[in-house]
Amino acid sequence: MSSVLTIRGGVPLTGRVTVRGAKNLVPKAMVAALLGNEPSVLRNVPEIKDVEVVTSLLQLHGVTVEKDPITGDLTLDPTNAKTASHTAIDAHAGDSRIPILLCGPLIHAIGEAFIPDLGGCKIGDRPIDYHLNVLRQFGAVVEKRPGGIHISAPGGLKGAKISLPYPSVGATEQVLLSATRAEGITELSGAATEPEIVDLIAVLQKMGAIISVQTDRTIRIEGVPDLGGYNHRALSDRNESASWASAALVTRGDIFVEGATQRDMMTFLNTYRKVGGGMDIGDDGIRFYHKGGKLNPLVLETDVHPGFMTDWQQPLIVALTQAEGVSIVHETVYENRFGFTDALIRMGANIQVHRECLGSVPCRFGQRNFLHSAVISGPAQLTGTDIDVPDLRGGFSHLIAALAASGTSRVTGIDIINRGYERFTEKLAGLGADFDITSAE
Q: From the candidates 103, 121, 357, 363, which is the catalytic residue?
A: 121
Q: Are 140 and 152 in contact (CB under 8 A)?
A: yes
At 70, the amino acid letter reads I
Per-residue x/- mask for ligand EPZ, residues 284 to 323, rule CB under 6 A? --------------------------xx------------
Which CB, 124 or 339, lies closer to ligand EPZ?
A: 124
For residue 165, the cross-strand partners are none
Per-residue x/- mask for ligand EPZ, residues 182 to 221, rule CB under 6 A? ----------x-x---------------------------
At 424, the amino acid letter reads F
Element (H, E) at 344: helix 341-346
For residue 323, the cross-strand partners are 295
Which CB, 243 or 327, lies closer to ligand EPZ?
A: 243
Dihedral of CA atoms 85, 88, 94, 99 in degrees, nearest 10, equals -20
Q: How far is the CB of 130 from ligand EPZ (least distance, A)?
A: 3
Which residues, 6+ apart, have CB-to-CB distance to 114 below 8 Å? 84, 86, 89, 145, 148, 149, 150, 151
Q: How far is the CB of 258 from ligand EPZ (least distance, A)?
A: 20
Q: How far is the CB of 337 from ligand EPZ (least distance, A)?
A: 8
At 402, the amino acid letter reads A
Which CB, 198 or 326, lies closer to ligand EPZ?
A: 198
Write phi, then psi, for 306 (nearest 5 degrees): -90, 25
Q: Which of residues 407-426 bind ligand EPZ (CB under 6 A)?
A: 420
Which CB, 272 or 396, lies closer to ligand EPZ?
A: 396
Report CA torsion sign: 47, 113, 128, 132: positive
Q: Which of residues 90-149 bind ligand EPZ (CB under 6 A)?
A: 97, 121, 124-131
Binder of ligand EPZ out of 46, 170, 190, 208 (CB under 6 A): 170
d(CA 184, CA 165): 23
For residue 116, the cross-strand partners are 148
d(CA 114, CA 191): 25
Q: Which of residues 27-56 bind ligand EPZ (CB under 6 A)?
A: none
Q: How far is the CB of 141 from ligand EPZ (least distance, A)?
A: 18
Can residue 24 be called a binding residue for ligand EPZ (CB under 6 A)?
yes
Q: What angle do CA 126, 337, 287 make, to 5 degrees?
A: 115
d(CA 23, CA 393): 12
- CB-closest chain residue to ligand EPZ: 170
Report CA torsion sign: 179, 182, 185, 186: negative
Number of residues lying near ligand EPZ (CB under 6 A): 27
* 121 included as an active-site residue: yes
d(CA 285, CA 278): 14
Q: How far is the CB of 151 from ligand EPZ (least distance, A)?
A: 14
- Beta-strand pair 285-290/254-258: antiparallel
Q: Which of residues 216-255 bind ligand EPZ (CB under 6 A)?
A: 239
Binder of ligand EPZ out of 55, 168, 251, 373 (CB under 6 A): 168
Q: By CB under 6 A, which span of 11-19, 162-170, 283-291, 374-382 interacts with ligand EPZ?
A: 162-170
Which CB, 175 or 380, lies closer to ligand EPZ?
A: 175
Binding region for ligand EPZ (CB under 6 A): 23-24, 97, 121, 124-131, 166, 168-171, 192, 194, 239, 310-311, 333-334, 392-393, 420
* Residues belonging to the active site: 121
